[in-house]
Amino acid sequence: MNKLVNQYNPDYVSPPGETLWDILKDRGMTQVELAQRTGRKTKTINQIIKGIAPLTPKTAIQLERVLGAPASFWNNREKKYQEFLARQEEQEELKKQIDSLNSTPVKYMIKHGWIQKFDNKVLQIQEVLNFYGIASPEQYKVVLSESYYHKSRVLKSDPHALLAWLRKGEIEAQKIQIEPYSLSNFNKNLKKIRSLTVKPTEIFLPQLIELCALSGVALVFIPELPKTRIFGAVRWLNPQKALIQLSLRYKTDDHFWFSFFHEAGHIILHGKKDVFLDEDLTEGDKEMEANRFAANSLIPFNELERFRRTNKRSIKDIEDFAEKLSISPGIVVGQLQYIGYLPMSHCNKLKRHIDWGQIPD
């Protein structure tokens, strides 16, 4: 998150005119005399002292000549004062919009450490705006209406929860150092990634993230929010950086690896302007293309068909087949169930449970 650390916002900042008035009194100089020495109107000097008129850079140079205090001093005082006024104005506006972001999943975001909790409701709104990287509640409405949610097919997820989930993915992706995207490197590294399916979570996870980063793909894992039904998402952050975001809905390795390769398929097969939000993996031509890519990447079609023709269904047969292909037996079970060769209730003990407890919220 682009968050200002240890930012100091004082309750009051005096206008530079107060300092100017103190200097004049200390030197016994009147406003009229200062006006004569600077060539400004007495009315202008009086308005600057009262904080009614701004102290311009030109006036700052004139004050440097007359009083000795550098122009940078006066410019900085004016800058801080104007910033203070702007923040005060923002605070007053936000007080009128306390309920404007009630639809955002603030409680969840606080619970999982995405944002800080504030008792002051205005400060809480500012924290939410910082999270989304937007300037005002009005801009939140614009971002929501223009978001990926509305640019994709009709989804079942709550748009506010989905937008928060997507934004968290972008924030985490910004932390990952990656190489410029390379189609050849990604194809090559996907073959290496396939070999990770036989390894436990603590082994495959860092290697999976690294191999993606070396290909120009940021891979992030963001727990799903209530009212979202999202499995994963793919989008391009820029022409050289793709993002795969997965929601940790996967309890077994067959679902996880199929979903990962499905999202990878979108990157390889489809355009950089496309955005894919996957609540399921079956609707639309491009989703079916990604499904076929995932299935064939994990178990080549000809190998799966050859095994199906053997009419073998025992756990030992499946384990031997998986060992021959150097892939997790659970993935084989999942694929055989998907094509209807195995009942959904058979051989599920070969599926490995994915331990997502190692991934911080």
Residue 5 domain-assigned (yes or no) = no
Instruction: Determine the pLDDT at residue 24.
Output: 97
34 and 91: one domain? yes
- Asked if residue 100 is part of any domain, the answer here is no
Which tokens hold the place of 326? 């150097």
Residue 322 is part of which domain span? 301-358
For the chain, percent of residues with pLDDT exceeding 70: 92
Residue 280 has pLDDT above 70, yes or no: no
The reply to whether 310 and 331 lie within a common domain is yes
Answer yes or no: do 61 and 88 share one domain: yes
| Structural domain contains residue 221 | yes
* 171 and 200 housed in the same domain: yes
What is the overall mean pLDDT for the chain? 90
Residues 136-195 have pLDDT tens digits of 998 888 888 776 554 555 567 888 999 999 999 999 999 999 999 999 999 999 999 999
In a domain, 87, yes or no: yes
Residue 307 shares a structural domain with residue 332: yes
* Same domain as 166, residue 119: no
Domain count, the chain: 4
In a domain, 101, yes or no: no
Q: Is the domain of 176 the same as that of 211?
A: yes
Return the CATH number at 38.
1.10.260.40
**What is the mean predicted confidence (pLDDT) over 273-297?**
85
pLDDT at residue 158, rounded to an integer: 86
Q: What is the 3-state secondary structure (H, E, C) of the chain?
A: CCCCCCCCCCCCCCCHHHHHHHHHHHHCCCHHHHHHHHCCCHHHHHHHHHCCCCCCHHHHHHHHHHHCCCHHHHHHHHHHHHHHHHHHHHHHHHHCCCCCCCCCCHHHHHHCCCCCCCCCHHHHHHHHHHHHCCCCHHHHHHHHHCCHHHHCCCCCCCHHHHHHHHHHHHHHHHCCCCCCCCHHHHHHHHHHHHHHHHCCHHHHHHHHHHHHHHHCEEEEECCCCCCCCCCEEEEEEECCEEEEEECCCCCEHHHHHHHHHHHHHHHHHCCCCCCEEECCCCCCHHHHHHHHHHHHHHCCHHHHHHHHHHCCCCHHHHHHHHHHHCCCHHHHHHHHHHCCCCCCCCCHHHCCECCHHHCCC
Residues 213 and 260 in one domain: yes
Query: Among all chains, which residue has been given the structure tokens 């079970």?
Result: 333
CA angle 81, 129, 100 (to 5 degrees): 105
Q: What pLDDT shows up at residue 2?
A: 46
List pLDDT tens digits, range 220-276: 999 888 888 888 999 999 999 999 999 878 789 999 999 999 999 999 999 898 888
Together in a domain, 250 and 165:
yes
pLDDT tens-digit map of 56-91: 999 999 999 999 999 999 999 999 999 999 999 999
Predicted confidence (pLDDT) per residue in 344-359, tens digit:
999 999 999 887 775 6
Q: What average pLDDT does the segment 18-38 reach?
A: 96
Q: Is residue 40 part of a domain?
A: yes
- pTM of the prediction? 0.84
Segment 113-117 shows an average pLDDT of 95
Residues 48, 168 share a domain: no
